[in-house]
A and B are shown apart, each in its own frame.
Chain A
Amino acid sequence: MEEKYYQKLWWDIILTILSFSVIPLVVLGFVMYHQFSVSYSAKIMESIRTLADNRVGAVNLFFDERISQLTTLANTSSLEQLRDEDYLNRVFNIIQARSKSYIDLGVIDHEGNHLAYVGPYYNILKGVNYKNEEWFNAVMASGVYVSDIFMGFRKIPHFIIAVLVREKNKVWILRATINSDIIESIVHAAQTGKGGDAFIINKNNILQTTPRFSGDLLSTPKAPDLSSATGTNVEELGYDGGTSFYATSVVKIKRWVMVIKEDPKEQLTPLLRARFITLLIGAGGVLLIILGAVFTTRAMMKELIRMEEKKAISEDLAMQSSKMAALGKMAAGIAHEINNPLAVIGEKAGWLKDLLAEEDLGSSPNYQEFAETVDKIEQHVSRAKKVTHRLLGFARRMEPVQEKVDINAILHDTIGFLENEARYRNIDIQADFDEKLPQTTSDSSQLQQVFLNILNNAIDAIGKDGEITVKTVHITKIKNLAVEIRDNGPGVPKEMLDKIFDPFFTTKEVGKGTGLGLSISYSIIDKLGGRMMVASEEGKGTTFTIYLPIK
């Protein structure tokens, strides 16, 4: 019952401490981690968005440059000049000196006929008519045309740029084939880290550059379809069981989409480390709080239990002493009421005795009987008197006092109380008193309570058939007197001996002993300035020794 109550209290305190400290800690950890993670992700997204913009800018610039180069060329030379393949060849050489990416250059009239050509495939391409080609129609319609990447005859990725030139009433086209390795290198510059990728797709989701991991040129990329992206955008998208950051930006001239892919695991490593550290610190903090809570609570509970016990002892002492006081009053009342009739009986017997002596009854045959009877009456009156006087003495000792006490007399009285009980159980109480024991100043009633308690315990311990020795010694050296009460009972096991003076410690059956007797005795002797000790050997008996100062 008590145990359960303490256990419940223990849990209550622990849980309160934990909830009031762990919850804020956890909340703090989560909020901080979340804020950090949000701002960190934002930073990463921002950085790849910038990268995508930057790369697209470079691609745009590349196209613009090529287109303006061709436009300039077309407008600074007349068709007549460019039809001349020698002239065209010179021009081509000048352009190529600046940029190796030009593969060939051709001049085509408005009907699709190849008027002039400079490049490695002269024999194949010279006679080709482009009238039905898609790009031919596109350039005729819009003036400038840039093709998607294609492999062509040379099996290297390239594209064409064609510009339409209006010269007087003539319309013709200047067409250049350009190697796409510059675009490749611009895009490759954005392939960062261990798992980062960058590529360009056209509006049909076909790869225009060679990605690192996400598929082959001119195939569909192993990535979500981002071909319909319209502006610069960053998203976290899932593909094939994993998620990645995808930044998209549009190459305006072709509606190509530049895709930059970042592995969040790689980019977020510092964030993951932060999470790990947060968790570690959080776990450490929680552990510390738990330990602290357990230790504090344990200390508190110990103190609480100690105080409860102390309270119980003092309550018991108070109850005990009020009980004893009440008992004393009752005893005194009874003794008084019995003393008066006893006095009458005594006087009557005395009167009879007087009469027997006065009158000459010596000759009466029953004289002897009379005399003996009267003697017996007087003898038993005196016996009864002893009992009532002892009761009165007991009552008198209930008031706490500092008085001269004769320890031997107190022990004698105490043994007197228990003689009957001991006799029934065939226990012999031997008194071995130091006759020269000096008096000391103490409280006889409290001492009697202590002696009574120890002797009672000794009788209970023996049970039946045994011996108790009560010995007093004067120890002149340390101005002490010692009372030794020894029984030949079963003794106390060693491990219990340490606890014998603890409150609520009892070896008696439940309900028989409060476990407070020895504890109270100990505190009484302590208050009186003495010491109480116990020695015991299992199977041989127990000895209590009380030392009292001689004052």
Chain B
Amino acid sequence: MDKFKVMVVDDEQDFLETIIKRLKARKIEVTGAESGSKALELLGAQDYDVIVLDVKMPGMDGIETLKEIKKRKPLTEVIMLTGHASVESGIQGMQLGAFDYVMKPAALDELLEKMRQAYERKLIQEGRA
């Protein structure tokens, strides 16, 4: 599988640092953003294949960020990461175009698998486009 570019957006600094380290260890090109606005800023500078987005964040929350991402780069796949297992926010995210949602705390392997699936879908969509 090709290398794909990932961005993880989470306000929890410790979580962000660690997951980046672990993904990097798995040879994934990953960037971290500690807020929605930071994520959008990064997205302006560069394209990402998959964005892992925490739902509940101070300032711009996950749902708002998702809307903005889909507006600017519709082909970017987004996986919602939620500490609040409300099905509603997950479903809402998916209605807004998110690929899937994962509940915190999630096993890295599970998250990784979802990322790959998302990337595959992106490839298919790009192929069609």
Contact = CB atoms under 8 A, between A and B. Distances in A.
A343 B108 contact: no
B22 interface: yes
Given A354-B22, A358-B25, A347 B85 contact: no
B46 interface: no
- Classify chain B: how many residues form its interface, as a range: 20 to 34
- Classify chain A: how many residues form its interface, as a range: 20 to 34
B105 A392 contact: no
Interface string B89-115: 000000000000001111110000000
Given A351-B21, A354-B25, A358-B25, A340 B85 contact: no
A342 interface: yes
B22 A339 contact: no
Interface string A381-397: 10001001100110010
Contacts of B106: 343, 346
Contacts of A385: 105
Interface in A339-373: 339-340, 342-348, 350-351, 354, 358
A101 B100 CA distance: 146
A342 B12 CA distance: 11
Contacts of B60: none
The interface residues of chain A, by DSSP majority, are classed as helix
B18 A339 contact: no
A368 B107 CA distance: 22
Contact of A348 (B14, B56, B84): B14
A358 B103 CA distance: 27
A332 interface: yes
A473 B106 CA distance: 35
Contacts of B14: 344, 347-348
B83 A336 contact: yes
B123 interface: no
B85 A343 contact: no
A369 to B, nearest CB: 22
B84 A392 contact: yes
Contacts, number: 65
B84 A332 contact: yes
Contact of B83 (A343, A347, A351, A358): A343
Interface string A314-356: 0000000000000000001001100110111111101100100
A389 B103 contact: yes
Given A351-B18, A392-B84, A396-B85, A344 B103 contact: no
Contact of A350 (B22, B56, B86): B22
B19 to A, nearest CB: 5
A344 B15 contact: yes
A346 B105 contact: yes
Interface string B2-40: 000000000010110011011001000000000000000
A389 B85 contact: yes
Nearest to B11: A340
A342 to B, nearest CB: 4
B105 A381 contact: yes
Contacts of A332: 84, 86
A249 B14 CA distance: 134
Contacts of A358: 25
Contact of A336 (B25, B84, B87): B84
B125 to A, nearest CB: 30
Contacts of B12: 340, 343-344
Contacts of A388: 85
Nearest to B88: A396
A306 B24 CA distance: 70
B105 A351 contact: no
Given A335-B85, A396-B87, A347 B18 contact: yes
Contact of B104 (A342, A350, A393, A396): A342
A393 to B, nearest CB: 7
A388 B105 CA distance: 10
B85 A392 contact: yes
B86 A396 contact: yes
A446 to B, nearest CB: 18
Given A336-B56, A389-B103, A347 B108 contact: yes
Given A354-B22, A381-B105, A343 B15 contact: yes
A484 B25 CA distance: 53
Nearest to B55: A336
Residue of B18, B21, B22, B105 contacting most chain A CB atoms (<10 Å): B105
A549 to B, nearest CB: 25
Residue of A332, A347, A381, A385 contacting most chain B CB atoms (<10 Å): A347
B108 A350 contact: yes
A96 to B, nearest CB: 139
B83 A340 contact: yes
Contacts of B18: 344, 347-348, 350-351
B15 A340 contact: yes
A343 B104 contact: yes
Contacts of A348: 14, 18
Interface string B59-96: 00000000000000000000000011111000000000
- What are the nearest 10 A-B pairs in CB distance? A392-B85, A343-B105, A339-B83, A347-B18, A346-B105, A343-B104, A342-B105, A336-B84, A344-B14, A339-B104
20 contacts: A339-B85, A339-B104, A340-B83, A343-B15, A343-B104, A343-B106, A346-B105, A346-B107, A347-B19, A347-B105, A348-B14, A350-B18, A350-B107, A351-B18, A351-B21, A354-B21, A354-B25, A358-B25, A393-B85, A396-B86
Given A336-B83, A350-B22, 14 more contacts: A336-B56, A339-B85, A339-B103, A340-B15, A342-B105, A343-B12, A343-B105, A344-B12, A347-B22, A348-B14, A389-B85, A392-B84, A393-B85, A396-B86
Interface of A: 332, 335-336, 339-340, 342-348, 350-351, 354, 358, 381, 385, 388-389, 392-393, 396
